[in-house]
Amino acid sequence: CLVMEKMHGSLHEVVEQMGPFALSLECLQKLSFQLLTSLSFLASNGVVHADIRPENVLLRESPWKKVNGRELPKSLSIKVKLADMGNSFRMKNSSAYHDDFELQTLYYRAPEVLFGMPFTTQIDMWSLGCLLVEAYIGRRLF
């Protein structure tokens, strides 16, 4: 039996419902800091997440409040957790993945993975950059 914290949806749902340019730069800074902290922890332990995308960034609290029966965005002091470690692996085992073009989700796939070249934990940083642009402009970068 696994017991986990109740989460309130994903970043993908927030971006989809709020539309382009709805997240403030302050909100994106907070989001970036939290995700960079997560990636720093993983990298310091030699782990590549390999599936950074909005669906795998879960909200710790609901971004919506009810006002007169309508759901409106809160002030968006966003708190998130990185989820879905199903594709993650240790860097010492990375050579087994160098020819695997299905390693990351296509829209967030780093160039070195795309070309089958050796890579490091930095492929997660590429994905994070794509995710942050998507969160801001409301659509995928590539």
Q: Is residue 6 part of a domain?
A: no
Q: Is residue 114 part of a domain?
A: yes
Q: Are 135 and 19 in contact (CB under 8 A)?
A: no
Q: Is residue 30 part of a domain?
A: yes
Q: Is residue 3 part of a domain?
A: no
State residue 32's pLDDT score. Answer: 95
pLDDT of 3 strictly over 80: no
Q: Render pLDDT for 128-139 as a digit per residue (tens, 0 to 9).
A: 999 999 999 988
Q: Render pLDDT for 77-101 as a digit per residue (tens, 0 to 9).
A: 678 899 988 888 888 876 666 565 5
Q: Are 8 and 73 in contact (CB under 8 A)?
A: no
Q: Is residue 59 part of a domain?
A: yes
Radius of gyration of the chain (CA): 16
Q: Is residue 142 part of a domain?
A: no
Give the pLDDT band (50/70/90) at residue 122: very high
CATH of the domain at 17: 1.10.510.10
Q: Render pLDDT for 20-69 as a digit per residue (tens, 0 to 9).
A: 887 888 888 999 999 999 999 999 999 999 999 999 999 887 766 666 66
Q: Is residue 5 part of a domain?
A: no
Q: Which domain holds residue 37?
A: 11-64+71-137
Q: Render pLDDT for 72-83 as a digit per residue (tens, 0 to 9).
A: 556 566 788 999
d(CA 50, CA 128): 11
Number of structural domains in the chain: 1
What's the whole-model pTM score?
0.83
State residue 67's pLDDT score. Answer: 60
State residue 98's pLDDT score. Answer: 58
100 part of the active site? no
At residue 100's C-alpha, the angle toward residues 85 and 132, to 5°, is: 50
State residue 18's pLDDT score. Answer: 81
